[in-house]
Amino acid sequence: MNFYDLVVVGGGPAGSSTAYCASQKGLKVLVLEKKKVPRFKLCAGCISKRISSYLPAGWEKLVLNRISSGVLGYAGNESLEIPAEEDIAYIIDRSEFDAFLLDKAQETGAHLLQECEFLHLEKEGERYRISTSKGVFYADYLVGADGFYSKVATSLGYRKNKFFKALEFFTDGELSHKVLIDIGIVKRGYAWIFPKGSKISVGIACTGNYDLTKALKDYAEKRGFKNITKVYGWYIPYAESSRDVFYGKERILLTGDAGNLTDPLLGEGIYYAVWSGKVAVDAITSSPSNPAENYKTLLKDLVSELVYAGKIARLGYRFQKVAYRMAKKGALKTYYRLLTGDVSYRELYRGGLLDFFKGLIYNYLWR
């Protein structure tokens, strides 16, 4: 029979990170990926610089654009560009990036089974019986890294209730080293224009009930993009409190989007996916009898970041004009320090709260 210490469902950044770290610690690991790798993956493809310490050596060769300047826009009209003093983020192609991480996991000893769909699981004694489209496997531990539509999370009774809806299209052009984020387009969300090598990604994401197709079209026209080609859509889950996080149960853990471990401010997920994969392995190896409880404890720093990002998101999206004015007065440069890992969301929130309320008073009482 096919016995493993750990079966990982999903071969994206969360799953690859889990498999890589687990194999390094001597676990026998199997990754189940439902598609053939490399595969197309919907994603804006922007990763913050702070992810660097979590990635295997050699990932830099995958960078399409090094981001060293940000443009914050308001309502598709006003805009403010503030250069950074160093790279703050990188643009990657997800198909290449994910394939690279899977290759690294295999180099450390993990096994990969492609075009294999997870069907269901059941507990048999001290092991899990995992049924797939390519047979049955047994494991002491299971990590669900299977994204927004996680079957592993569903099998544990979890249901998504907080998420961004996102639309994106690509067009020819080059932005080189800068990204543009526009607020004031939708009530709780943002639009973006990102470089993608020799292409440009134009998109919009929000949590409300908007006609996003029309919103994207109107925004693109405001920013000078007349010919919208094929539009892609997907969902981005997020957590803004510990109650929103799907940790898992007993010896089944959830990482990345499967666990809602995504930034509620701008929807950054890859950083938290890779981070949570490492933490999941630490939870298993340091508390083998009940890793789920240990995982919850070890994830406190990560979840704290999401909680404070949520606090900023609730204020910033409700009072978007104030947020834009704060960015002009220096908040955007402070945000750059978050992207490089020099400050936390907690520090960002506490340091900017007084200025935010000053701006709120100015905007609504003295305008």
- Can you tell me the distance from the alpha carbon of 198 to that of 221, in angstroms, rounded to the nearest whole number? 21
Whether residue 330 contacts residue 323, with contact meaning beta carbons closer than 8 Å, is answered with no
| pLDDT given at position 358 | 54
Confidence check: pLDDT of 289 > 70: yes
| pLDDT given at position 354 | 52
What is the mean predicted confidence (pLDDT) over 275-304? 98
Confidence check: pLDDT of 251 > 90: yes
Specify the number of domains making up the chain.
3
| pLDDT given at position 325 | 86
pTM value? Answer: 0.94
The β-bridge partners of 232 are 168
- For residue range 149-189, list pLDDT tens digits in order: 999 999 999 999 999 999 999 999 888 899 999 999 998 99
- Can you tell me the distance from the alpha carbon of 324 to that of 20, in angstroms, rounded to the nearest whole number? 40
> Quick one: pLDDT band at residue 366, thresholds 50, 70, 90?
very low
Query: Do residues 340 and 212 both lie within one domain?
Result: no
- Can you tell me the distance from the alpha carbon of 248 to that of 84, in angstroms, rounded to the nearest whole number? 39
Query: Do residues 156 and 24 both lie within one domain?
Result: yes
- Can you tell me the distance from the alpha carbon of 340 to that of 20, in angstroms, rounded to the nearest whole number? 24
Query: Do residues 140 and 27 both lie within one domain?
Result: yes
Query: Do residues 84 and 194 both lie within one domain?
Result: yes
What percent of the chain stands above pLDDT 90?
84
Q: Domain boundary at 237, 260, 288, which?
A: 237
Residue whose structure tokens are 């003093």: 85
Report yes or no on 314 lying in a domain: no
- For residue range 216-227, list pLDDT tens digits in order: 999 999 999 988
- For residue range 80-104, list pLDDT tens digits in order: 999 999 999 999 999 999 999 999 9
> Quick one: pLDDT band at residue 326, thresholds 50, 70, 90?
confident
Q: Domain boundary at 237, 261, 286, which?
A: 237
Mean pLDDT, the chain, integer: 93
List Cβ neighbours of 345 (8 Å cut-off, separation of 6 or more).
304, 305, 306, 308, 309, 312, 338
At residue 99, the 3 state secondary structure works out as helix
Query: Do residues 80 and 97 both lie within one domain?
Result: no
Whether residue 44 contacts residue 192, with contact meaning beta carbons closer than 8 Å, is answered with yes
Query: Do residues 23 and 122 both lie within one domain?
Result: yes
Q: How far apart are the first and last CA of the chain?
A: 72
Query: Do residues 152 and 283 both lie within one domain?
Result: yes
Query: Do residues 151 and 177 both lie within one domain?
Result: no
Among 162, 113, 86, smallest CA distance to 11 is for: 113
Q: Are strands 78-83 and 69-74 parallel, antiparallel or unpaired?
A: antiparallel
